[in-house]
Structure 1
């Protein structure tokens, strides 16, 4: 009982020492949750594999073409099960090697602009990090070169990618924080980390990034150009390595969020179809327009290749959700994504294990719940992918051939 918080009714109140003990216990709970998923000293691995039929579909060539390339040495011979002499499956790195050999990697041309897509809403709990992690992995499965920048000190995206923000991430070396300081590094290369996902690099976050909010706010009055353009300059310093840069900003209108709005050239706005969340999204849109207009007045005008609203956490069984979604479609006829991120136990269960739906393997992937979830996650990915490809002139001929342009 010595460690219990005092009863406010029977004492003078809860003091700083008590709050520090509470914070310490909360950290212990988080560490125990993480230890269930990651054993000490181990790194998260990607265990998904693909049979030759799936590989052929992903690569855009026939199964015979793959086997012929293996037979003539253009591709390495696949691993086989000694007992059955059958292929054990291809890893994503193998798929990308095939794409390279067959010339089907979907990379943008050097003359095309890298897409810097912010998944932005000033309200928390609208599925920002869920979208960032699943979109990044969808794009990686398609063969794109992806960078994920976690701009949120809560570091949910960092944790999903297998890093303990409090242990594995140094705020002075690994996050955006050093770069956002005056006199910081010249580029963001120092912070890029390869991940266990082929094709995805990560700039992680941790709680220390929160200090940048105060420092940026203090600097804003005397050097607004530095504050507003620093993140964009950093992304420009690394964007030649990537096709798509995904930004996961904090759920608040602060200096880092403003920097994200300035750095991005495309926006995806997650909005759950309920009165409270959609009301917050309406306020966000108004605040964003007002803020960007004010920034433009100081010479910082910004245009976006596309801005789309995505209904998230949609529950078709709730009449209020259906009614508000119908209203959203009527009010934003050309601004809504057709696809919807539905409320899903599959996503919740994956997130509880610091994972994503795209990382699940084995029996978990054969349930109807999983299959339905993959269908709408893939639909979101395809729609956003098409919007991105439309911004790349080198893809226009292919888009016309596909009947999209």
Structure 2
């Protein structure tokens, strides 16, 4: 219907595609959960979305219905061939349509981990190629999409560094507990020094926005509330207004390699589902606004809506 009435929210050709990495060097913070739900939220809104799974654990790939050990071949389907010297000239070979209209996927599997060793071995000899190869690959397909979401490994490795170079926006999920909060603070310090070093070797990289999202938030836990207040005080300009709430609905969907947006039938009529869907939609709306602010063609409409 949006296509028929000309109301699709696509960026204009002159607008830069939004290439967002959902990144934290610590695992278990809700990174993949955020990637898959944001992708489906944006697709439901009518945007053209691509997900690039850069994590050899391939959780995002599995959620989208591909068995990494059976359906994905490292020599044909993942980033791995592109990251080699003499590899393909673009990433088009790896793009796959998904069962979800509006979302394309570049999958991953365990073989992608070999790129970590190979990149590290070649870093001293050819730093420019190593740092910018992924960025060049993303640029080769970016004209087809409005939003590209990148799911990097939860570690400070060569692939994570490549993702930092390829992205033009960062979203950092951080649960409100002492360990994860401290880890996120260290991640930001480490990222600052890492970006400075990367700039020294390959030029500075600007981001349209860098935002922290409180993930796995449980309002019933006083410790979560206290740490959330601390996070708001420490990162007043950088933390999103909304939080991604901890919900059994997300856990139940994930157990079946699904998302909350995919659930149908009686399961969608429960109060738990409605609350969870509201939380996810709220996160999607706030991130969507950040995205639209990066597109000059949307500024006039944003001003009419009182959002700019």
Q: Place the TM-score, normalised by the shorter chain, in its bin.
A: over 0.9
Q: Kindly state the Cα deviation for residue 299 of structure 1 after the two structures are TM-superposed.
A: 3.5
**Match in the other structure for 1:296:** 199
**Match in the other structure for 1:113:** 16
SS in 2 for 1:130: helix
Give the distance between the partners of 1:231 and 1:299, measured in 2 at CA: 13
Structure 1: where are the runs of 5+ without partners? 1-97
- The partner residue of 1:363 within 244, 266, 278 is 266
Structure with the bigger RCO (C-alpha within 8 Å, sep 6+) is 2
**Match in the other structure for 1:155:** 58
Give the distance between the partners of 2:13 and 2:206, measured in 1 at CA: 21
TM-score normalised by structure 2 residue count: 0.99
The answer to whether structure 1 residue 284 and structure 2 residue 191 are counterparts is no
SS in 1 for 2:13: coil
Question: Which runs of structure 2 are paired with 1:127-138 in the superposition (5 Å)?
Answer: 127-138=30-41
Q: Kindly state the Cα deviation for residue 292 of structure 1 after the two structures are TM-superposed.
A: 0.4
Structure with greater strand share of residues: 2
Give the distance between the partners of 1:183 and 1:320, measured in 2 at CA: 52
SS in 2 for 1:246: strand
Q: Deviations over 1:272-296 (max 9, x none)?
A: 0100111111111111001001111
TM-score normalised by structure 1 residue count: 0.76
Q: Kindly state the Cα deviation for residue 297 of structure 1 after the two structures are TM-superposed.
A: 1.5
**Match in the other structure for 1:259:** 162
Q: Kindly state the Cα deviation for residue 300 of structure 1 after the two structures are TM-superposed.
A: 2.2
User: How many positions carry a matched residue from both structures?
Assistant: 308
CA RMSD of aligned residues (A): 0.6
**Match in the other structure for 1:227:** 130
Q: Deviations over 1:31-61 (max 9, x none)?
A: xxxxxxxxxxxxxxxxxxxxxxxxxxxxxxx
Structure 2: where are the runs of 5+ without partners? none
Q: Deviations over 1:248-269 (max 9, x none)?
A: 0000000000000000000000
Give the distance between the partners of 1:325 and 1:300, measured in 2 at CA: 35
Rg bigger for which structure? 1
SS in 1 for 2:195: helix
**Match in the other structure for 2:254:** 351
**Match in the other structure for 2:292:** 389
The answer to whether structure 1 residue 308 and structure 2 residue 211 are counterparts is yes
**Match in the other structure for 1:166:** 69
Question: Which runs of structure 2 are paired with 1:40-189 in the superposition (5 Å)?
Answer: 98-189=1-92
